[in-house]
Chain A
Amino acid sequence: MFFLGFIFEWIDRKLIARFQGRVGPPWYQVFADIIKLAVKEDITPLGTNPWLAAGLPLVAYSSVATAAVYNPVVGSTKYSFAGDFIVIMFLLSLPSLLYFLAGWICTGVYSVMGGNRSLLQYFSYEVLFTLALSGAAIASESWSLSGIIAHQVNSGANIIHQLLGFLLAILGLIGKLKRSPFDIPKAKSEIVAGPLTEFSGKKLALWYLSIQLQTVVGICLVINCFFGSWFAAGGAHRFIAWFVFAILVQGLLSLFYAIYARLRIDQLIQLTWKILIPLSLVQIAVLILL
């Protein structure tokens, strides 16, 4: 999972570069970036609790890593229990809250502004993401990921009747990962780097790692919920199938990054609450009625 994070980060950067008419970085660039950050001087800004500043990225990373354990890659995991879907959703939303806290404990105005914005954004995409993925759980009448996958193996992949839900989940994932066009909390030209402005060195590297891992776990979760039937069955081709789907989802994320301008926070909230969330409710209603 850890290495997959790097691989997808590289694929992402390469894809975006190609969309933008650039060449893109070589494969080892992603490793080099983290190593470079890790050996840089680690500054704890004045007026910040050093234990909190060090603890937040650690907790963020470990919660995502825990989610990674329960999230099946290529259709299987050793650790599965009834209701693990909800646990994963919670563990994935934890880093966003910690991200807000990271802004709050710093005294800089950019950090505080960024923290406030990330909390505002939290209330829009988190609902969307949860509702969109719940569609898959409702269809299979199970709140565990292995149940969801097993249901898809029996009666076809969810994407066939839940294309809308899939697209909404992608949008929710973009908001969760704070990627462009929903990168409002860390809008560089407005508030420098948002909550992470005051972080440096190893702590910043850890934040980046947790976002990287979050990307992979998010992608896994989405393909588990929507493409389950095609790779859960045995055989060597399932690895290839899984990888193809994962790259497809990553490609969509990169595409959205490349083709839209950053929205304003009020525009984002209007978009999610007035259009996207009603749409996801429609999707769920259709599933229940059928």
Chain B
Amino acid sequence: MNRIIIPIGPQHPLIKEPLSVRLLLEGERVVDSFLRLGYVHRGIERLAEERSFIQNIHLMERVCGICSHVHTTTYCQAAEALLGVQVPERGLFIRTLLCELERIHSHLLWLGVLAKNMGFETIFMYAWQYREISLNIMELISGGRVSHSVNVIGGVRIDISQAQSGEIELGLQKLEERSAQLLNFVQNDRSFHLRTKDIAKLTIDDIKKLCVVGPVARASGLDIDLRRDAPYAAYPQLDFRVYVLEQGDVWARTMIRLLETLESVRLCRRILSRLPHGSISVDTPRRIPPGEAVSRCEAPRGEVLYYILTDGSQNPARIKIRTPSLTNLITLPLQLKGLNMADVSVAISGVDLCISCADR
């Protein structure tokens, strides 16, 4: 049978970011696929060595366009560990609140993208409409919808007033209702099941072998979540549920993300009700003593790891960032093999790729 190569990307309606996937097709079936990365490499790790620790907070915020707050949180945690400072309770809670809001925003955005890519425009429209609520809340807190600039080394920059907290609560109530609607749809809609069930399956062995993290790993039955396994910020004082499903297909990934969205909304309300009083940050020196530190956080897509090496000057000697998208990207050729061409779009969007994270 004739084999043809179909290029998806670097410019293609499927993925808005530049990733190149070349599919070797036999009829409508994918025989093999080739990944190519690096179209948005910005040299952030090198750039960070030229900037001071404080400037780097803003640089790290720009690693990812969706989970910007998690990146600065991880970076600040590493710097705080090197300095040996303790962030005040209230600061930690506000940090955590934004992390969770970002998770809601990221998951709803992803659901919209998935729905769009499988030709379900209506869900795309509704998911993004609901996502707007979370963006508005974030704007209310920090003034920024995507980049918040909330974190500083030693705490946070912005406090939440009583009036704001009431308004956030209202928004969260609305979000809870709407995400429950979406969850209900994903559980029950037949045409959605037709397109997502048993598509792009990953077994737990594949997951372990390829070091997959985040919702993709949890959808295949691997019970990992850094918020619970290696708690940071305010997570040790909060109780929440980590969802794990066994199926390992795109449907399970959707379910996991929506369940997490709902859990995050509940978590946000818990944080607001338990917000401790006191200061939000401590003063820290500009120079950081020599040493090295590793910090990890659970981003919406999985584990983010920062490694910082310092030599006592104003600038870091080396910063290494490991993002979840890169590890999850490696599973794509495995997932795509043997798929129907029509399912490729669902499989690729099912991983929730962030190419700007992966390339840095």
Chain A interfacial positions (CB closer than 8 Å to B): 16, 19-22, 109-110, 112-113, 180-181, 183-184, 187-192, 257-267
Contact = CB atoms under 8 A, between A and B. Distances in A.
Across the A-B interface, the 8 shortest Cβ-Cβ residue pairs: A262-B119, A20-B125, A189-B117, A261-B120, A189-B345, A261-B191, A264-B342, A260-B191
Contact of B119 (A22, A183, A259): A183
A19 B341 contact: no
A180 B342 contact: no
A201 B164 CA distance: 51
A54 B49 CA distance: 58
Chain A interface helix/strand/loop/mixed: helix
A192 B191 CA distance: 22
Contacts of B342: 184, 187, 190, 262, 264-265
Contacts of B191: 181, 260-261, 263
Contacts of B28: 265
Given A109-B5, A189-B118, A190-B14, A264 B343 contact: yes
B6 interface: yes
Given A109-B4, A261-B191, A264-B340, A189 B120 contact: no
Interface residues of B, number: 31
A20 B121 contact: yes
A265 B192 CA distance: 15
A180 B120 CA distance: 8
A258 B121 contact: yes
Given A189-B119, A262-B120, A22 B6 contact: no
A103 to B, nearest CB: 14
A189 B195 contact: no
Nearest to A192: B13
A264 B347 CA distance: 14
A232 to B, nearest CB: 36
A177 B6 CA distance: 26
A20 B13 contact: no
Contacts of A260: 120, 191
Given A21-B126, A181-B191, 6 more contacts: A20-B121, A188-B13, A189-B345, A258-B122, A261-B191, A265-B342
Interface string B320-360: 00000000000000000000111111000100000000000
B10 to A, nearest CB: 14
Contacts of A266: 340
Contact of A181 (B119, B340, B341): B119
Contacts of A267: 194
Contacts of A21: 125-126, 129
A180 B6 CA distance: 23
B194 A261 contact: yes
Contacts of A22: 125
Nearest to A190: B345
A261 B129 CA distance: 19
Contacts of A188: 13, 119
Nearest to A109: B6
A262 B125 contact: no
18 contacts: A16-B121, A109-B5, A109-B6, A187-B119, A189-B13, A189-B117, A189-B118, A189-B119, A261-B192, A261-B195, A262-B119, A262-B120, A262-B195, A263-B191, A264-B343, A265-B28, A265-B342, A267-B194
A261 B340 contact: no
A162 B83 CA distance: 79
Nearest to B116: A189
